[in-house]
């Protein structure tokens, strides 16, 4: 590095200008993605971008302050010490890491969930290993994940450590390549070690290479976490490390992969040099595991026929229960059918259990309005619509809705007999013995709905989050070491719609 103050100032000015521009570009990209979320998602906060954006915004303020200081030093022709200090501060910027995280997410991930989340293991943790009450957590038994993707099923850790720095750390901690061992077939192999005997590797974390400690922590946290009955996949992205250039580093990467972690190095970590400008692949993909046929719970059958879901002119009123008024408010903001239920349902054959259909009809008959009763009959293909085609049912349904019906909505919903299907699947071993314990916590209607979906191997869609969480907890409690055991495939709609109900003095 030049010791000439003028050269240092020119370098500092060029670097400061570049970093500020790059940081603004990163923030623009993140802003574009947040705008896309607002345009396409019922709840834009379903993808957590704030952490990375907040870090980038804080970095921009720092860089702008350093840029101003460089200009002031330049104008005042200050001494060499100030020039060196500013140059060092600029070269220590966190921006390259934030850029790497965004580039890796943008170019190699799908179904983004969030940037930056801490996961725990060893008890005292929250649901699915995620961050909960801090007072109940031991942060030493946790790992910070940079990107949660694939709708929660993949964790990505990014390291921008350089090859030189990594080799220096390995040397400092006494890690060395040992080519003297043999694999029994006469071929030498490299063993990385920083001890002479068979000491417990957990005795002293200070001797561990940071990347290896991260790998071990990722594995522990992933083993304590399940998303839709599965442990998250793990990916380690190390863009500044090149494989095949150092025996020691190749040995270290082998250790990391031994934890069941996919490791990607060099330019490949960025997913290619051509950045994907279309960000739609980062949007949530909640329907990716849907089956051709969907099993519809009673809660969503009611939502589909409710006046609240179809009439734009319903407003909040003191005559409504406060829960109804809250649903009206939410509906005006993001209508349930066009933004969530129809995207989930279109293109799929729709069924429900006879118990779900019977319960829905009872509720609608007792408290439903005239239009809610009419929608119910069209939805189920009941008389006088039993002989109607799908096209005719859609046309008649359209007459009762302020929203445009999707042409691929396959009406009617067919009621199916569930108990014989469940009994057959249990007898034939298609349902695991665990199903008996799940049955014990379910009401008759929930038994028919969720056990039918499990037995028939079709996805169930529901808004009954409480029951779904109980089923998942029961599966985990009685897994008994079966890592491949999965419960029923269920998609939970974040919100439901009650019937508007017959109000005293109101004409239906």
Q: How far apart are CA 357 and CA 341, in angstroms?
A: 18
Question: Which of 284, 317, 342 is the C-terminal boundary of a domain?
Answer: 284
Residue 5: how many CA atoms within 13 Å on its side-chain side?
A: 13
> Is there a domain that residue 481 lies in?
yes
Mark whether 280 and 297 lie in a shared domain: no
Place of tokens 């709609």: 493
Whether residue 84 is found in the same domain as residue 189: no
N-term to C-term CA, the chain: 82
pLDDT at 134: 47
Distances (CA, A) of 23 to 30, 147, 287, 315: 11, 19, 34, 45
146 lies in the same domain as 164: yes
Q: Model confidence over 401-421: pLDDT tens digits?
A: 999 999 999 999 999 999 999
Residue 203 pLDDT: 45
- From residue 370, alpha-carbon distances to 140, 182, 307, 392 in Å are 60, 81, 10, 20
Residue 349 has which token pair? 């054959």
Strands (E), 239-332: 262-265, 293-296
**By C-alpha distance, which of 64, 62, 84, 63 is closest to 73?**
84
CA 307 to chain centroid, in Å, comes to 32
pLDDT score, position 11? 83
Please tell me the distance from the alpha carbon of residue 368 to that of residue 143, in angstroms, as a whole number.
Answer: 51
DSSP class of residue 188 equals: B
The answer as to whether 98 is a domain residue is no
Q: Would 345 be classed as within a structural domain? A: yes
Look at strands 459-462 and 293-296 and give their pairing.
parallel
379 assigned to some structural domain: yes
Same-domain check for residues 308 and 249: no
Asked if 308 and 441 sit in the same domain, the reply is: yes
Instruction: Tell how many helices (H) and how many strands (E) occur in the chain.
Output: 18, 12
Task: Give the three-class secondary structure for 464.
Answer: coil
Q: What's the pLDDT at 126?
A: 41
**Quick check: is 498 in a domain?**
no
Q: Which of 253, 284, 315 is the last residue of a domain?
A: 284
Query: Is the CB of residue 124 less than 8 Å from the CB of residue 138?
Result: yes
Residues 13 and 31 occupy one common structural domain? yes
| Nearest alpha-carbon partner for 251 in 185, 179, 202 | 179
Residue 51, in any domain of the structure: yes
Clarify whether residues 247 and 327 are in a common domain: no
CA distance 192 to 251: 6
304 and 343 in a single domain? The answer is yes
pLDDT at 81: 76
Q: What is the pLDDT of residue 277?
A: 66
Looking at residue 204, what is its pLDDT? 53
222, 309: one domain? no
Which DSSP state fits 227?
B
Give me the pLDDT at residue 205, please.
62
Q: How confident is the model over 137-192, as pLDDT tens digits?
A: 688 899 999 999 999 999 999 999 999 999 999 999 887 655 444 444 444 334 44
Res 381: pLDDT: 97
What letters, b where the CB count within 10 A reaches 16 and e where it falls short, cover 102-132? bbbbbbbbbbbbbbbbbbbbeeebeebbbee
**320 plus 365 within the same structural domain:** yes
Question: In 334-415, which residue ranges form alpha helices assigned H by DSSP?
Answer: 336, 342-345, 354-367, 370-380, 390-398
Instruction: Provide the domain limits for residue 86.
Output: 1-93
Together in a domain, 243 and 279: yes
Could you tell me if 423 and 333 lie in one domain? yes
> How many domains does the chain fold into?
3
**Which phi and psi angles does 201 have, rounded to 5°?**
-70, -15
Give pLDDT, residue 73.
82
Residues 6+ apart with CB under 8 A from 367: 499, 501, 502
User: Which segments in the chain show pLDDT lower than 70?
Assistant: 1-9, 77-80, 123-137, 176-206, 272-277, 501-508
Please give the model's pTM, rounded to 2 decimal places: 0.86
Last residue of a domain, one of 242, 258, 284: 284
Q: Which residue has the tokens 């739609």?
A: 280
């Amino acid at each position: 590095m030049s010791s000439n103050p003028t050269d240092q100032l020119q370098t500092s000015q060029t670097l400061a200008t570049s970093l500020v521009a790059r940081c603004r570009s990163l923030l623009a990209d993140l802003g574009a993605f947040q705008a896309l979320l607002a345009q396409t998602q019922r709840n834009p906060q379903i993808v957590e971008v704030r952490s990375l954006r907040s870090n980038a915004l804080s970095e921009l303020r720092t860089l702008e302050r350093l840029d101003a200081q460089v200009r002031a030093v330049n104008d005042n022709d200050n001494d060499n010490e100030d020039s060196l200090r500013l140059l060092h501060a600029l070269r220590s910027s966190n921006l390259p890491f934030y850029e790497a995280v965004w580039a890796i997410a943008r170019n190699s991930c799908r179904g983004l969930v969030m940037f930056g989340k801490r996961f725990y293991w060893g008890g005292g943790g929250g649901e699915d290993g995620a961050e909960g009450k801090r007072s109940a957590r031991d942060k030493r038994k946790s790992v910070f994940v940079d990107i949660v993707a694939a709708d929660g099923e993949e964790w990505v850790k990014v390291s921008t450590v350089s090859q030189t720095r990594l080799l220096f750390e390995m040397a400092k901690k006494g890690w060395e390549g040992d080519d003297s061992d043999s694999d029994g077939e006469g071929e030498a192999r490299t063993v990385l070690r920083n001890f002479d005997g068979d000491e417990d590797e957990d005795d002293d974390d200070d001797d561990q290479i940071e990347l290896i400690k991260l790998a071990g922590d990722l594995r522990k946290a992933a083993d304590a976490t399940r998303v839709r009955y599965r442990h998250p996949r793990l990916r380690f992205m190390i863009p500044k490390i090149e494989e095949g250039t150092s025996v020691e580093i190749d040995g270290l990467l082998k250790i990391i992969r031994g934890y069941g972690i996919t490791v990607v190095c060099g330019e490949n970590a960025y997913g290619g040099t051509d950045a994907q400008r279309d960000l739609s692949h980062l949007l949530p993909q909640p329907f990716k595991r849907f089956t051709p046929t969907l099993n519809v719970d009673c809660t969503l059958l009611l939502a589909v026929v409710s006046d609240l879901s179809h009439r734009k002119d319903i407003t909040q009123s003191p005559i409504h229960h406060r829960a109804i008024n809250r649903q009206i408010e939410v509906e005006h903001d993001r209508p349930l059918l066009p933004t969530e239920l129809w995207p989930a349902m279109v293109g799929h054959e729709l069924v429900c259990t006879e118990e779900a259909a019977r319960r829905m009809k009872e509720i609608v008959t007792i408290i439903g309005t005239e239009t809610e009763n009419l929608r119910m009959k069209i939805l189920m293909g009941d008389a006088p619509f039993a002989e109607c085609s799908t096209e005719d049912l859609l046309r008649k349904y359209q007459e009762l809705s302020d929203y445009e019906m999707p042409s691929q909505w396959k009406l009617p919903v067919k009621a199916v007999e569930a108990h014989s299907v469940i009994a057959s699947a249990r007898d034939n071993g298609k349902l695991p013995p665990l199903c008996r314990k799940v049955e014990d916590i379910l009401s008759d209607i929930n038994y028919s709905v969720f056990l039918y979906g499990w037995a028939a191997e079709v996805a169930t869609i529901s808004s009954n989050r409480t029951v779904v969480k109980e089923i998942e907890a029961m599966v985990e409690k009685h897994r008994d070491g079966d890592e491949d055991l999965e419960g029923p495939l269920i998609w939970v709609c974040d919100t439901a719609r009650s019937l508007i109900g017959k109000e005293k003095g109101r004409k239906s």
